[in-house]
């Protein structure tokens, strides 16, 4: 199965970030979703995660940084920087900030990440009024 990243439906386009989400993209750890993100430098998703456990994303992700650079902060405060060309796995309990304009592709357990994305959508409504 394949799909072009730009053909994945947009589920959020705000605050300098575009998130695309394609459910039912195979199975591995349950059903996976394919996601394509473009984040402008400075985008920090932390405010959208407030209210989740530890105010962090509770879905794991596997993926590839196409371009740019992000800093991932894990529950407990550990951080790592991921740059273009990196293959990544971010376990549940993380948040992400774009240090540069960034493009990335992620694969996530569909049910877990849909719950996180729904929460982020609600937070976005609160923050942008």
34: CATH: 2.60.120.10
Q: pTM for the full model?
A: 0.79
15-28: pLDDT as tens digits:
788 888 877 765 66
Reference 22, options 10, 40, 39, 38; nearest CA is 10
Token pair of 54 as six digits: 């530890």
Q: What is the mean pLDDT of residues 95-110?
A: 96
Q: Per this entry, what is the length of the chain?
A: 129
What is the pLDDT at residue 25? 66
Write out pLDDT tens, residues 54-81. Answer: 999 999 999 999 999 999 999 999 999 9
The burial of 104, by beta-carbon neighbours within 10 Å (0-12 exposed, 13-18 middle, 19 or more buried), is given as: buried
Closest CA to 77 of 56, 50, 108, 105: 56
Among residues 75, 2, 60, the alpha carbon closest in space to that of 29 is found at 60
Q: Give percent above pLDDT 90 in the chain.
A: 67
Residue 53: is it exposed, middle or buried by C-beta count within 10 angstroms (0-12/13-18/19+)?
exposed
Average pLDDT over residues 74-99: 93
Mean pLDDT score, 99-109: 96
Q: Domain count of the chain?
A: 1
| Residue ranges making up the domain that contains 61 | 5-128
**pLDDT band at residue 2 under the 50/70/90 scheme:** low
Specify the pLDDT at position 1. 47
| pLDDT at residue 17, as a whole number | 85
């Amino acid at each position: 199965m394949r799909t072009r990243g730009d053909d994945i439906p947009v589920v959020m386009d705000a605050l300098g970030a575009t998130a695309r989400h394609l459910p039912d993209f195979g199975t591995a750890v349950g059903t996976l979703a394919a996601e394509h993100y473009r984040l402008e430098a400075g985008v920090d998703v932390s405010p959208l995660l407030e209210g989740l456990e530890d105010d962090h994303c509770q879905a794991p992700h596997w993926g590839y940084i196409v371009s740019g650079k992000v800093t991932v902060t894990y529950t407990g405060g550990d951080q790592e920087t991921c740059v273009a060309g990196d293959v990544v796995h971010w376990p549940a309990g993380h948040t992400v900030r774009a240090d540069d304009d960034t493009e990335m592709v992620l694969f996530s357990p569909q049910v877990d990440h849909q719950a996180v994305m729904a929460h982020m959508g609600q937070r976005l409504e609160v923050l942008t009024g």
